[in-house]
C-alpha cells in the first residue's frame, strides 16, 4: 500500500494519477504503516517506518534542505529516463556527484534523484521536481507541439513503477490493457463536409478544384500521389457539374464507404448540429466564417440511423458547446432530435469543431450531461497533448471523461502542418502504435469524412492503419465503449491474484490484475 501526503489543492490530481497508475494507495493517515510513502518537500523531516519514502520537490526553499544541489532550473528541462526523453515543465533540481543514473539531466548529465537515507530497512529518496505540478500541467495545460510525441505522463508512471521494483516493493496493478488484447483502437470521423452539393461557387469548391486539378499534378510529379489518384481527381473535376446536378453520386457522402472499409469494426462519427453557424469565441466576437458547415442533418439523418443500427456511434461535433452548459445542452438535443427515433442511443459524447477548448469547457460539458469529450489533441501535429494514452476524468469536472485525440489525418498530411508522405505518415503512426502496445491504453484516430474522397484520397493510408492496428493486437471500440471500459477499470478493486482476469457481463473485455513481486523473492539479485 502506498500512502500519499498531499495538500488539499493537490488531491484531485493525486486521485487522477492513481486512477491511471491503478495500484493500491490512499492519502496518508496517522498511525498507519505503509510500504511506500510519497510526500512533498513541505513534509520533509516527518518520521516514517515505510520501506521506501519518496520526496518530490524543486522550490528554492526545498533546495536549502539538501546538499549537493547543483542546478535549480525553472521550467522546460529535458531529462533522460533510460532510453526515453522526459520533459519537465516546472522547476527541477539536479545534484552533483553520481547517485542514480535512472533519471538524469539531458544537458548536464547530473542526476535528478538523490538518496537521503539508505539503511537496511529503509530508503529515503528526493526527486528533484514536483510530480503533482507536472501531472496538473499535462492534464490542464497540455504539452506544446514540440514534445507532442512524448507520452510524458506514462513515463512519470513508469519511473515511479521502476522505483518500486528497484527497492523491492511488492504491489498489485490493473494495467490499462483489455483482457485478451494489447490496447484499444478508437476510430473516429469528424463530419465537416457531408455533401459537396451543399457548396456552390464558394471558397471550399475553389479550393477543391485547385487541389484536385493542380496540386494533385505536382504531388504526382513528386511521387506523393499515384497516377491512378491523379486521374481520378481530374475525372472528378470534369464531372463536377454533373455531380452538382445530381446526375452522378455525391463524392463527399462517404458513410457507406467508411462502413465498407471498416467492415465489422465500430467507429464514432462526430456530427455538427446545425448548418451556417461558425460559432463564437470565449472573448467575444464570431469565429472565422469558414468554420461553419454547409450540410444539414435532414440530408444525412437516414444515413446516421443506419450507422447506429450497425454498431457505430454518433456524437456531437460541437460549435459553441464548449462555452456554456446551456449551449452544450441545446446542441446535444438538436443533434438527437435531428437523427430522430427515440429508441436510438442518446448523444453522450462530444468533440469540438476545430478543437476549440479551454479550462472552462469541461465544466460546461459536464453540466450539460455529456459522458465524454474527445477534443484534446493537436490541429498541427500528432501525439499526446495530455501526455497519456489513457482516458481520464477532466480536471474541474464531476463526471466528464476525456478521451485523448492522438492522430488527425489533416495534421499528418496537410502542407500547412506536418506535410508527410504516405510512408512517413505510416512510420509516425507506427511509433504511436508501438507506444500503445508498450503502455496499453487507447490510440484515438480521427479520419475526416471527406478524407477518403477526391481530392484527398487518403483511403489507402487509412486501410493500412487499420491493418496495422489489427496486427498489433488492438480491441476496436467506439468512443463510448472505450470510456466505459476505462470506467470499469476505475471501479475495480485490487483483490485478485496475479495474472487473474475479471469476468465480464457488459460485453466489454475484462481486466487483468498484475502482481509485481520484489526481485529478491523471485531469485534475482537486487
pLDDT digits (tens, 9 = 90+) for 458-471: 999 999 999 999 99
- Using the predicted structure, report yes or no on whether residue 206 has a pLDDT greater than 70: yes
Distance, in Å, from the CA atom of 361 to the CA atom of 357, rounded to the nearest integer, reads 6
- Of residues 251 and 76, the one with the higher pLDDT is 251
Q: Count CA within 13 A, CB hemisphere, residue 407.
A: 26
- What are 371-394's pLDDT values in tens digits? 999 999 999 999 999 999 999 999
Distance, in Å, from the CA atom of 395 to the CA atom of 358, rounded to the nearest integer, reads 11
- What percentage of the chain reaches a pLDDT higher than 70? 92
Provide the pLDDT for residue 516: 77
- Of residues 148 and 501, the one with the higher pLDDT is 148
In 233-321, the DSSP E strands lie at 268-271, 313-318
Q: In this structure, are strands 103-105 and 77-81 parallel, antiparallel, or unpaired?
A: antiparallel
Q: Is 234 exposed, middle or buried (0-12, 13-18, 19+ CB in 10 A)?
A: middle
Give the distance between the most distant pair of CA atoms in the chain.
83
Residue 146: other Cβ atoms inside 10 A: 10
Contact predicate 508/480, CB 8 Å: no
- What are 404-449's pLDDT values in tens digits? 999 999 999 999 999 999 999 999 999 999 999 999 999 999 999 9
Q: Which residue has the cell 454518433?
A: 314
Give the containing element (helix H, strand E) for 204: helix 203-210
Question: Could you tell me how far CA 412 lies from the centroid of its own chain?
Answer: 16
Contact predicate 384/345, CB 8 Å: no
- Using the predicted structure, report yes or no on whether residue 337 has a pLDDT greater than 80: yes
C-alpha cell read off for 405: 485525440
Reported confidence tier of residue 102, pLDDT bands at 50, 70, 90: confident
**pLDDT mean over 187-197:** 96
Question: Could you tell me how far CA 279 lies from the centroid of its own chain?
Answer: 25
Reported confidence tier of residue 525, pLDDT bands at 50, 70, 90: very low
Contact predicate 406/412, CB 8 Å: no
Provide the pLDDT for residue 236: 97
- Using the predicted structure, report yes or no on whether residue 250 has a pLDDT greater than 90: yes
- Using the predicted structure, report yes or no on whether residue 48 has a pLDDT greater than 90: no
Q: Which residue has the cell 462526430?
A: 270
Reported confidence tier of residue 263, pLDDT bands at 50, 70, 90: very high
Provide the pLDDT for residue 115: 85
Provide the pLDDT for residue 60: 52
Helix, strand, or coil (residue 259): helix
Q: Which domains does the chain have, with CATH numbers?
A: 2-171 (3.40.50), 185-195+252-479 (3.20.20.370), 198-249 (no CATH)
Amino acid at each position: 500500500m502506498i500512502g500519499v501526503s498531499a495538500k488539499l489543492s493537490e488531491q484531485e490530481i493525486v486521485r487522477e494519477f492513481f486512477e491511471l497508475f491503478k495500484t493500491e494507495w490512499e492519502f496518508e493517515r496517522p498511525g498507519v504503516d505503509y510500504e511506500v510513502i510519497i510526500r512533498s518537500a513541505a513534509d520533509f523531516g516527518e518520521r516514517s517506518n515505510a520501506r521506501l519514502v519518496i520526496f518530490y520537490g524543486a522550490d528554492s526553499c526545498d533546495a536549502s534542505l539538501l546538499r549537493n544541489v547543483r542546478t535549480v532550473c525553472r521550467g522546460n528541462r529535458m531529462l533522460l529516463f533510460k532510453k526515453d526523453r522526459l520533459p519537465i515543465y516546472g522547476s527541477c533540481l539536479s545534484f552533483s556527484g553520481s547517485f542514480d543514473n535512472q533519471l538524469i539531466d539531458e544537458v548536464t548529465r547530473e542526476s535528478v534523484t538523490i538518496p537521503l537515507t539508505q539503511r537496511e530497512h529503509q530508503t529515503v529518496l528526493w526527486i528533484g521536481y514536483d510530480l503533482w505540478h507536472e501531472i496538473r500541467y499535462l492534464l490542464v495545460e497540455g504539452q506544446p507541439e514540440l514534445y507532442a510525441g512524448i507520452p510524458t505522463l506514462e513515463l512519470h508512471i513508469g519511473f515511479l513503477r521502476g522505483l518500486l521494483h528497484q527497492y523491492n516493493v511488492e504491489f498489485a496493478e490493473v494495467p490499462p490493457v483489455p483482457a485478451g488484447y494489447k490496447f484499444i483502437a478508437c476510430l473516429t470521423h469528424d463530419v465537416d463536409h457531408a455533401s459537396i452539393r451543399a457548396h456552390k461557387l464558394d471558397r471550399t469548391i475553389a479550393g477543391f478544384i485547385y487541389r484536385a486539378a493542380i496540386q494533385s499534378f505536382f504531388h504526382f510529379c513528386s511521387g506523393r500521389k499515384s497516377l491512378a489518384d491523379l486521374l481520378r481527381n481530374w475525372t472528378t473535376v470534369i464531372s463536377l457539374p454533373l455531380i452538382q446536378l445530381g446526375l452522378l453520386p455525391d463524392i463527399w457522402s462517404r458513410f457507406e464507404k467508411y462502413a465498407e472499409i471498416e467492415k465489422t469494426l465500430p467507429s464514432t462519427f462526430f456530427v455538427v448540429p446545425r448548418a451556417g453557424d461558425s460559432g463564437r469565441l470565449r472573448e467575444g466576437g464570431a469565429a472565422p466564417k469558414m468554420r461553419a458547415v454547409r450540410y444539414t442533418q435532414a440530408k444525412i439523418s437516414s444515413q446516421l440511423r443506419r450507422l447506429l443500427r450497425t454498431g457505430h456511434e454518433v456524437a456531437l461535433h460541437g460549435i459553441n458547446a464548449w462555452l456554456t452548459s446551456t449551449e452544450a445542452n441545446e446542441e446535444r438535443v438538436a443533434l438527437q432530435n435531428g437523427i430522430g427515433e427515440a429508441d436510438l442511443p442518446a448523444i453522450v459524447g462530444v468533440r469540438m469543431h476545430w478543437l476549440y477548448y479551454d479550462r472552462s469547457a469541461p465544466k460546461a460539458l459536464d453540466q450539460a450531461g455529456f459522458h465524454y469529450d474527445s477534443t484534446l489533441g493537436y490541429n498541427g501535429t500528432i501525439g499526446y497533448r495530455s501526455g497519456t494514452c489513457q482516458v481520464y476524468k477532466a480536471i474541474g469536472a464531476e463526471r466528464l471523461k476525456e478521451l485523448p485525440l492522438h492522430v488527425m489525418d489533416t495534421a499528418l498530411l496537410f502542407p500547412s502542418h506536418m506535410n508527410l508522405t504516405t510512408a512517413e505518415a505510416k512510420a509516425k503512426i507506427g511509433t504511436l502504435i508501438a507506444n500503445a502496445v508498450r503502455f496499453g491504453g487507447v490510440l484515438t484516430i480521427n479520419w475526416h469524412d471527406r478524407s477518403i474522397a477526391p481530392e484527398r484520397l487518403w483511403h489507402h493510408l487509412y486501410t493500412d492503419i487499420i491493418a496495422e492496428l489489427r496486427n498489433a493486437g488492438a480491441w476496436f471500440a467506439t468512443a463510448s465503449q472505450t470510456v466505459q471500459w476505462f470506467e470499469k477499470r476505475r471501479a475495480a478493486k485490487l483483490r485478485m491474484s496475479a495474472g487473474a482476469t475479471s469476468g465480464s457481463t457488459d460485453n466489454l473485455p475484462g481486466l487483468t490484475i498484475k502482481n509485481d513481486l520484489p526481485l529478491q523473492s523471485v531469485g534475482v539479485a537486487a
